[in-house]
């Protein structure tokens, strides 16, 4: 069902060992995200007394995972990794198809899309082109936008900072009614990140 990378497995086993027998399994739960965002997974170490009657248990080599029945099929083929990036570290669950971001079939249209594209083309992309990067608008839902990073930005350790402290700030200054900027980039598949 679920594969753990060597690094994720080592972290889980280390945490279980540190608990000196108080914790015995890893529970995986999921919260479905709103409007096309990736779902949020919670991974929690639990003890024997925290097991629930509807937990499905699976041995994944060295420890057990507990998931609710409704989640078993959705986690089929998933990979759990432990990632460390600038200002964040933790477990990351990658699933087959479940994490696919919501994209428009056609380029987004309308006043909001036009204004976002103008900011990206005039202010953002010329600035990040020096690092071989580019940011594209892929969807607009009311006052939320969904962007995708490519080139040197895809997989770059500073991509979150670039988006939050630079790109989002420029977009909000130009478009005050903007309520959300969501990165739907698959950073794990970046082949040439700017380092």
DSSP of the chain? -EEE-HHHHHHHHHHHHHTTTS--EEEEEEEPPSTTPPPEEEEEEE-GGG--TTEEEEE-SSSEEEEEHHHHTTTTTEEEEEEEETTEEEEEEE-SSTTPPP--SS---SHHHHHHHHHIIIIIHHHHGGGTEEEEEEEEETTEEEEEEEETTTT-TTHHHIIIIIIHHHHHHH-TT--EEEE---GGG-SS---
- Residuewise pLDDT in 10s, the chain (195 residues): 688 888 888 999 999 899 888 898 988 888 765 544 566 788 888 888 888 888 888 888 889 898 888 787 777 778 888 877 656 678 888 776 544 445 555 788 889 999 999 999 999 888 888 878 888 998 888 888 888 888 877 777 777 777 777 888 899 899 999 887 878 777 666 565 555
Q: Return the bridge partners of 56, or none.
A: 67
Separation CA 141–CA 44 (nearest Å): 33
Task: Give this prediction's pTM.
Answer: 0.49
Domains in the chain, start-ordered, CATH in brackets? 2-94 (2.60.300.12), 111-189 (3.30.300.130)
- Backbone phi and psi for residue 23, each to the nearest 5 degrees, phi listed first: -110, 145
- Asked whether the beta carbons of 152 and 132 are under 8 A apart, the reply is yes
Q: Which two tokens stand for residue 146?
A: 């969904």
Contact between 144 and 180 (Cβ < 8 Å): yes
Task: Please tell me the predicted confidence (pLDDT) of residue 2.
Answer: 83
């Amino acid at each position: 069902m679920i594969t753990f990378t060597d690094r994720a497995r080592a972290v889980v086993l280390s945490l279980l060992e540190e608990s000196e027998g108080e914790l015995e399994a890893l529970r995986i739960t999921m919260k479905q995200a709103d409007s096309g965002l990736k779902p949020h997974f919670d991974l929690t170490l639990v003890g024997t007394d925290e097991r629930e009657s509807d937990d499905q248990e699976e041995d994944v080599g060295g420890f057990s995972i507990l998931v609710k029945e409704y989640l078993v099929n959705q986690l089929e083929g998933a990979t759990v990794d432990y990632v460390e990036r600038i200002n964040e570290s933790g477990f990351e669950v990658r699933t087959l198809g479940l994490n696919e971001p919501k994209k428009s079939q056609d380029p987004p249209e309308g006043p909001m899309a036009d204004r976002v594209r103008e900011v990206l083309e005039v202010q953002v992309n010329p600035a990040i082109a020096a690092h071989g990067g580019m940011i594209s608008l892929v969807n607009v839902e009311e006052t939320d936008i969904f962007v995708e990073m490519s080139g040197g930005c895809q997989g770059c350790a500073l991509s979150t900072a670039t988006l939050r402290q630079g790109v989002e700030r420029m977009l909000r200054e130009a478009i005050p009614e903007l309520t959300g900027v969501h990165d739907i980039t698959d950073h794990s598949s970046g082949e040439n990140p700017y380092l």
